[in-house]
Structures are given as C-alpha cells and as structure tokens.
Amino acid sequence: AQKITQTQPGMFVQEKEAVTLDCTYDTSDPSYGLFWYKQPSSGEMIFLIYQGSYDQQNATEGRYSLNFQKARKSANLVISASQLGDSAMYFCAMRGGRLTGGGNKLTFGTGTQLKVEL
Amino acid sequence: DTGVSQDPRHKITKRGQNVTFRCDPISEHNRLYWYRQTLGQGPEFLTYFQNEAQLEKSRLLSDRFSAERPKGSFSTLEIQRTEQGDSAMYLCASSSIGGVGSGNTIYFGEGSWLTVV
C-alpha cells in the first residue's frame, strides 16, 4: 500500500519569502514518482513539479523546487519568493510501480492550505 | 484551450436522480482518470481508461457508478440514484502512456461539483 502524509494543515508566509511544505511518503515499490499540485479555490488541480525515485538531482521548475530525501522518504516542496497568487491548497501525490499496483493512479495527501500575506 | 475540460462545472440534483458528467481529455492522451474529492480531503482514485478499455476500478466505485469511454476520446461518468453522500467534486485527468519513472504528468480538469439535496 502507498501512503502520503502532509502534516501541515495550514501555513502562512509573507510575500517574497520562501516557504517549505512538508510531504512524507510510504511505499514498498522501488520505482515511484512524486508530484505536487496546486489547487486554488476554483478547484482545478494544477501540476507544479515531478520527481522520479531514480532521479539523481532534485527537481526544479521556476520558483518551485522539490527537496527529495529518499532515505527519509520525504519530498518537500519549496516555493521561493512567495506571491499573493500562491495562496491555495497544495497536494503532494505519489504514483507507485507495479509492485504495489499503483502504477496508474495517484495517491494524494490531505493537503496544506497556504496563505501568502503582505 | 487544449487542457482537460469537464462539463457541467456545477450540478445540483435531488436525491434519487441520475447525473452524468463528461470529460474531454487532452487530445493526444491515451489514459483518462476519474477522481472524487470531498471537502478537506485529497482526491481519491475512482477508475481509469487506457484508450477505450477500462483497466482499473476502485472499490469506491459502487454499482451505481458507471464510466465509459466509447471511442477512446471523451469519457462520461454516470451516477444513478444519487445519494447525499455522493456530493463531492469529480475530477477528470489525462496522461500519455509511460512508465512510472517516465514522469508522464497527469493533468487535471477543473472538476465537476455535485450537490445532492
């Protein structure tokens, strides 16, 4: 079975500051992928960043970077230079491999509500 | 707009009525997924298609739920005899075929909100 844990139900950050959203995962699959999505109040799930379990380097996409620590089974999202438009719910998700039958679906955490303040 | 589109965006229905949601995936994507999201929770997997074949169904998908993708393009999700517990957002997503490590991103639509009164 696969599990994603997001322990921060809510986070506040000041505009232009960096913020880290925590995500830990559990899987017995050696091959898996980790995703972060942003969900504004409109409901759409917006893809932010992806990290493969065999990727040697941490993923980066613009102001987003993923702090991947495989031994600790953590995949924290770092948002640099926060903007007011970053206020949203953020979900960490995992797609597992054939071993756990998770290869074709995402397992999501419960999300972190981020509020960016002036 | 070349993203995943869903229709309707909002639906209010009386308990016991049937509802149908439609999803148009990104055109070159072979895989199509349905998820359900309730308030305060992350999305939960319901089912997925590869082309027109429905390859996996979650235990969440009771007999009252049926999904189709007749020509491997758009998909419909029908809920029969709706119950108040069906109130949720139904998200559709699509991706191209590829292994776990390929990074094939799963792109979501804006969701269809269902309220059963």
Of the candidates A32, A47, A105, the beta carbon closest to that of B48 is on A105
CA distance B113 to chain A (A): 9
Q: Tell me, what's the pLDDT at B103?
A: 57
Q: For B62-78, how does the pLDDT look when each residue is reduced to its tens digit (9 = 90+)?
A: 899 999 999 889 999 99
DSSP letter assigned to residue B70: T
Burial of B110 by CB count in 10 Å (0-12 exposed, 13-18 middle, 19+ buried)?
buried
**Three-state secondary structure call for residue B45:** strand
Interface list for A 20-49 with B (CB within 8 A): 29, 31-33, 35, 37, 42-47
Tell me the per-residue pLDDT of B34-56, one tens digit each, with 9 for 90 and over: 999 998 899 999 999 999 999 88
Confirm if A2 and A94 have CB atoms less than 8 A apart. yes
Q: Are strands A112-117 and A33-39 parallel, antiparallel or unpaired?
A: unpaired
pLDDT over 90 at A63, yes or no: yes
Question: Around Cβ A33, how many Cβ atoms within 10 Å?
Answer: 27
How far B83 CA lies from chain A's nearest CA (Å)?
22
Write down the pLDDT at residue A101.
61
For chain B, what is the largest distance between any 2 Cα atoms, rounded to a whole number of angstroms? 44
**Does the pLDDT of residue B57 top 60, yes or no?**
yes
Chain A positions in Cβ-Cβ contact with residue B111 (cut-off 8 Å) = 43-45
Ranges A26-30, B13-17, B112-116: which has the least confidence:
A26-30
DSSP state of B72: S
Using the CB atoms, write b or e for A50-79: b if 16+ within 10 Å. Answer: bbbbebeeebeeeebbbbbeeeeebbbbbb
Interchain contact, B100 vs A42, CB within 8 Å = no
Chain A nearest CA to B103, separation (Å)? 7
Mutation target to probe the A interface, by most A beta carbons within 10 A, among B32, B106, B107 is B106
> B69 CA to chain A: closest CA distance, Å?
17
Which residues of chain B have a CB within 8 Å of the CB of A96? 100
Residue range B82-100: average pLDDT?
A: 88
pLDDT at A99: 65
A57: contact with B, CB 8 A cutoff: no
Cβ–Cβ < 8 Å for B56, B47: yes
Name which of A21, A27, A3 is nearest A88 in CA terms. A21
pLDDT of residue A102: 59
